[in-house]
Structure 1
Amino acid sequence: MAGKTIRMAGILLAAAALTAQNSGSGDADRAAMMRQLGITALVPGPSGDEQAPNHANYEEASANPYPALPDVLMAENGRRIATADAWWKVRRPEIVEAFSREIYGRVPKGLPAVEWRVVAEETQTIGFFRPVRVRQLVGHVPSPEAAAPAVDIRMTVVTPAGATQPVPLLIMFGRDVPPAPTQPDRAEAARIDAAMKALLLRQDPSLATVFARHPFFAFQAEQPLRFTPPGPGDPPREEQLIAAGWGYALLDPTSVQPDNADALRQGIIGLANRGRARAPDDWGALRAWAWGASRGFDWLAADPTIDARRIGIEGVSRYGKAALLAAAFDDRFAMVLVGSSGKGGATLLRRNFGEGVANLATGQHYWMAGNFLKYNAKSGKDALNPGDLPVDSHQLIALVAPRLAFISYGVPEAGDAKWLDQRGSLMAAVAAGRVWRLLGARDLGLGDDWRGVQLPPVNSGLLDGELAWRQHDGGHTDQPNMKRFLSWANAKIGWVPPTR
């Protein structure tokens, strides 16, 4: 009964999210882009509610209407890519160009430099009283003119206190909250309380009787020490990273670009366009978030306490898409952990299973380049469909090769909905594996039959190569895979966690 309840909750959440996505937000921007492209109508996306008449397909027999994938090792001139040199000089640039032009958009040239500064710093504790150095940063991007406001990127960097050597670090997309801000001690709390009461008494002397009736009331009191012993299950990801001797940075993607279709003239996209509407090959939010991660990398790589050769990027769901983009387009990232990313991330776009190109085009078009709408055109000049895409997600994954890429999913029973198409991501990873092998690294070890590959048992994982895939038994999170990721990455980068 509990499993059915979880499944139904997942279905309802997916349906609610889709309803919100299609509620009219960003209609004006999408309509303007359609006019630029000569598109008169878009194909509506299927529903995430399996009970709806237009529900998404979940039958494998109908899942592959476009059974051929663009060959990751075939150049546009028809020549086979057989050497690492040809990959770097010919094929990889072709794939980057196609993704930039048609799917995610181009990063504009001439963007102002990001001016990073540390706005707060202190020593805190995390997990089982592990001391950490916490720095909160703002990366200021000045606006060239008043049509679009300046951008302030928020990032919090947490590293083990007292580390004796530069540490690996994982940038994680999310709110830039510190782990445990220190609190005033008893003397400091008493001073704050006395000052607050004195100020109020000057404004209202009658409050003296109130304070007298409540002698233990305090506006600021010393916080009692509370310790919660570890419970069942995995600790939070941040605690696992610090326990392994890593650092982490929490980068707020919405401070780079709001996650809102009506905000394309704000954030870094609005700043770059000086408040004007986008052109068809201008970047969308996913590429902007990935750009923000690269600017965070710039600062981290210059910090002597962080090992610039061992900085990775992580994200879940829409931020999993952005994390994959960041690693694909910026080869300074040594590794990427891609959590539950679905379509537009690690899952094949050509798959008719769960979420589809139509959902991205009609719901989250602002994540993508305007040109992406062409591949969901119902009518208009040059109407195309997903089978016409010049690239697909296996090629996006391949752009990370031969570096470390760990693709993570949960199970539908726990909330990682079928909508995400877990098998479609495994198919993409298998199809990408040829590039890892060409470059002298190891792939998943499943051969090249991406069409016939089946999901391995949950919690078993494919972790021998530099390309890894694992489905855990949790929900829409990569937390249950973090310890597997750390063990796998430590072995690949030669990092030995410190002993306490």
Structure 2
Amino acid sequence: MSILNSTHRIFLASASIGVLLAGAAVCGAQRATKKHLPAPVTFTAEQDHQNMMDQLGLEALRPGPSGDENAPNHANYDESKANPYPNLPDVFTLKDGRKVTTPEMWWKQRRPEIVEDFEREVYGRIPNHTPKVTWTVAVTDREYVGFTPVIAKRLVGHVDNSAYPAINVDISMTLVTPANAKGPVPVLMMFGQSLLPNPTQPPAEDVEKINAKLRALLSKDDPEIAEIFRKYPGYDPVPPKAFSFPLRLNPGEDRPPHEELLADGWGYAMIDPASIQADNGAGLTRGIIGLVNHGQPRKPDDWGSLRAWEWGAARGLEYLETDPAVDAKHVGIEGVSRYGKAALVTLAFEPRFYMGLIGSSGKGGATLLRRNFGEAVESLAGTGEYHWMAGNFLKYAAAKVKSGGPMNPGDLPVDSHELIALCAPRLVFISYGIPAAGDAKWLDQQGSYMAAVAAQPVFRLVGAKGMGVSDDYRTAQMPPVLDGLLGGELAWRQDAGGHTDAPNVKYFIEWADKKMGRATRLR
């Protein structure tokens, strides 16, 4: 018996040593693998841009126009010269020449073709295997926004970087919902800085305790600070915050968008694009794009910042789908300017978003890329904005190439009317202001309207309504300012404001409420 026990103990010891050695070998291999990962490349935007030019065999790009109307190379604002490539790609013509005649042909054949062209040539591809995001509620606070009591949550979405620890990505998002809601509420996710709207402050007695502790700590080792507190005994390092109700200077003035949403029983989320991917070319080897590429430069069909922001918004939506305060079937996406581009790209590629408010998005967003009016394809391909797009997009601004002939916007296989069409039959509200108030002509409001007109047939084919106007985009003229086209799932309104969608938010809410079957509560 003792011999058996001894043998058994020897066997167990040997097995344990084997397991330990095997584990050590695995850990050693993992360490070696991590050790041999390349260091992140550090490029300036100019160096990264040149790297992409070299990959594509481009020797020079056409310069983009100037936004200064007095400059020699000023942008064109003459409508008679605005359409050098007047024929848009037909949304209903398949690559093999056949016409789309049924919703099934759209969903199974034509739509995938358009998605492929956009991914390869314009916005880039999101990798098939992106890292998992784990969301943590960092802060939950009961606050007031305007007169509405709310529950505000500051959220952090940590992107798994175990495959490349040199780059860390933490997505920052804030969710604000009405505290007195009787059930889940629709939410508008907005691209912008993520902050708690009105953090609650401790009561006066607790502030006094904090001040007493601060005075003691600051005075302890610094006689000069102690003398200051002696001379000014009534001074508090942390002054108490007095509550005051928000004021309306004019009885009829609009509330800020966040207040409008909450007053109607919606919630909102603020997601910070910069926490997902930097808004510059130098950042392309960092952020989520850099993390997936192990810190190395992009390939020509890799994703740009617009799709990275879309990816981050989709991850934010995945958190919202778990929050019981949110009606996850009715979450929208919103943005203005470059974030208007990102909002439209998000709605087009991520079908779980129900609606979008697309503010002043210009080229790369709702405006036709083929238009020669204000901002141009050459503007997007230059070093200041190229990072929004796939590297392949630079080809359409080429002046000189190493082989073959240069291409122009007319060679693009897709245009923005098809980006809008990818959103059908979901809700799309295209918003602009007016140049006189600061929504510059550079954005080409007319070009966006033409794109919306050209997208209408797809909405109708899949059972939704367009704007209720003719489909002839060549002759389409924008309706008068303040005269919104809000009857269909595709909507248009130009307000009298500037480079913001704030004046259109209440119209967006009323329009979306009708489509969702909700009663509008705005006052």
Q: Does 1:428 align with 2:451?
A: yes
After superposition, the Cα gap between the structure-2 partners of 1:131 and 1:373, relative to the gap in structure 1 and judged at 3 Å, is same
Matched letter for residue 112 of structure 1: P
Matched letter for residue 166 of structure 1: P
Matched letter for residue 77 of structure 1: D
1:167 and 1:305 in contact (8 A); partners too: yes
Offset from partner CA, 1:251-294 (integer Å, 9 cap, x none): 00010001111110000000010001100000000000011111
1:134 and 1:158 in contact (8 A); partners too: yes
Structure 1 partner of 2:4: none
Structure 1 partner of 2:132: 113
- Give the whole-Å Cα distance in 1 for the aligned partners of 2:320 and 2:165: 31
Offset from partner CA, 1:157-197 (integer Å, 9 cap, x none): 00000211110000000000111011121111100100011
Deviates more, 1:202-211 or 1:188-197: 202-211
Identify which of 156, 162, 174 aligns with 1:156. 174
1:305: how far off? 1.3
- Give the whole-Å Cα distance in 2 for the aligned partners of 1:499 and 1:353: 38
1:106: how far off? 0.2
TM-score (norm 2): 0.89
1:133 and 1:160 in contact (8 A); partners too: yes
Q: Does 1:341 align with 2:357?
A: no
- Give the SS at the match of 1:140: strand
Q: Does 1:79 align with 2:98?
A: yes
Task: Name the % identity.
Answer: 57
Structure 2 partner of 1:6: none
1:148 and 1:270 in contact (8 A); partners too: no
- Give the SS at the match of 2:111: helix
Structure 1 partner of 2:487: 464
- Give the whole-Å Cα distance in 2 for the aligned partners of 1:281 and 1:225: 53
1:112 and 1:141 in contact (8 A); partners too: yes
Q: Does 1:376 align with 2:376?
A: no
1:145: how far off? 4.1
After superposition, the Cα gap between the structure-2 partners of 1:25 and 1:53, relative to the gap in structure 1 and judged at 3 Å, is farther
Identify which of 270, 290, 294 aligns with 1:270. 290
- Give the whole-Å Cα distance in 2 for the aligned partners of 1:365 and 1:147: 27
Q: Does 1:367 align with 2:388?
A: yes
- Give the whole-Å Cα distance in 2 for the aligned partners of 1:207 and 1:155: 39
- Give the whole-Å Cα distance in 1 for the aligned partners of 2:117 and 2:271: 28
Deviates more, 1:216-225 or 1:446-455: 216-225
**Mapping 1:18-167, distance limit 5 Å:** 26-127=45-146, 129-146=147-164, 148-167=166-185
- Give the whole-Å Cα distance in 2 for the aligned partners of 1:440 and 1:25: 48
Structure 2 partner of 1:176: 194
- Give the whole-Å Cα distance in 2 for the aligned partners of 1:450 and 1:334: 26
Structure 1 partner of 2:279: 259
- Give the SS at the match of 1:264: helix
- Give the SS at the match of 2:122: helix
1:402: how far off? 0.6
- Give the whole-Å Cα distance in 2 for the aligned partners of 1:386 and 1:206: 68
Identify which of 189, 192, 204 aligns with 2:222. 204
- Give the whole-Å Cα distance in 1 for the aligned partners of 2:395 and 2:65: 18
1:467: how far off? 0.2
- Give the SS at the match of 2:466: coil
Identify which of 405, 409, 430 aligns with 1:386. 409
Larger Rg: 2
Matched letter for residue 277 of structure 1: P
1:228: how far off? 3.6
Matched letter for residue 254 of structure 1: A
Structure 1 partner of 2:351: 331
- Give the whole-Å Cα distance in 1 for the aligned partners of 2:319 and 2:392: 32
Identify which of 234, 239, 243 aligns with 2:263. 243
- Give the whole-Å Cα distance in 1 for the aligned partners of 2:236 and 2:111: 63
After superposition, the Cα gap between the structure-2 partners of 1:87 and 1:270, relative to the gap in structure 1 and judged at 3 Å, is same
Structure 2 partner of 1:3: none
- Give the SS at the match of 1:158: strand
- Give the whole-Å Cα distance in 1 for the aligned partners of 2:522 and 2:88: 47
1:230: how far off? 1.4
Ranges in structure 2 where 5+ consecutive residues have no aligned partner: 1-42
- Give the whole-Å Cα distance in 1 for the aligned partners of 2:477 and 2:112: 31
1:238 and 1:248 in contact (8 A); partners too: yes
1:206: how far off? 5.0
- Give the SS at the match of 2:285: coil
1:111: how far off? 1.2
TM-score (norm 1): 0.93
Q: What RMSD over aligned residues (CA atoms) do the two structures have, in Å?
A: 1.4
1:455: how far off? 1.4
After superposition, the Cα gap between the structure-2 partners of 1:89 and 1:418, relative to the gap in structure 1 and judged at 3 Å, is same
- Give the whole-Å Cα distance in 2 for the aligned partners of 1:426 and 1:254: 30
Matched letter for residue 517 of structure 2: G
- Give the whole-Å Cα distance in 2 for the aligned partners of 1:138 and 1:83: 43
Identify which of 217, 225, 233 aligns with 1:215. 233
- Give the SS at the match of 2:270: strand
1:207: how far off? 3.8
Offset from partner CA, 1:141-167 (integer Å, 9 cap, x none): 122444741210000000000211110
1:105 and 1:284 in contact (8 A); partners too: yes
Structure 2 partner of 1:7: none
1:301: how far off? 1.2
Q: Does 1:320 align with 2:340?
A: yes
Offset from partner CA, 1:346-373 (integer Å, 9 cap, x none): 0000000000000000131111000000
- Give the whole-Å Cα distance in 1 for the aligned partners of 2:343 and 2:498: 19
After superposition, the Cα gap between the structure-2 partners of 1:275 and 1:208, relative to the gap in structure 1 and judged at 3 Å, is closer
Matched letter for residue 329 of structure 2: R
Identify which of 204, 226, 231 aligns with 1:186. 204
Structure 2 partner of 1:438: 461
